[in-house]
Amino acid sequence: MKTLQAQVPEALYDRVNALVRDGWFRDPGEVLGEALRRFIESHQGSLAEKFVREDVEWGLRGDD
């Protein structure tokens, strides 16, 4: 396991703690790990690249 340090807005920090307090996660690290995993899954480089390529094609040859 690796350690990451991050600064987050107060409100976000409170919501992370609320998830732990309510028993959904063991600790704030587990919340951040899950959040990062979901973010990375939906922001894969290959996906971003596909979207940019589609955009260039539309920009050059689209009809709107």
Q: What's the gap between Cα 59 and its chain centre?
A: 28
Q: Which of 7, 23, 26, 39 binds another protein (CB under 8 A)?
A: 39
CB 25 within 8 A of CB 34: yes
Q: Which is nearer to another protein, 26 or 63 (CB)?
A: 63
Q: What is d(CA 39, CA 1) in angstroms, rounded to the nearest whole number?
A: 19
Asked whether position 8 contacts another protein by CB under 8 A, the answer is no
* N-to-C CA span, the chain: 49
Asked whether position 26 contacts another protein by CB under 8 A, the answer is no
- Interface positions with another protein (CB under 8 A): 35, 38-39, 42-45, 47-49, 51-52, 54-56, 58-62, 64
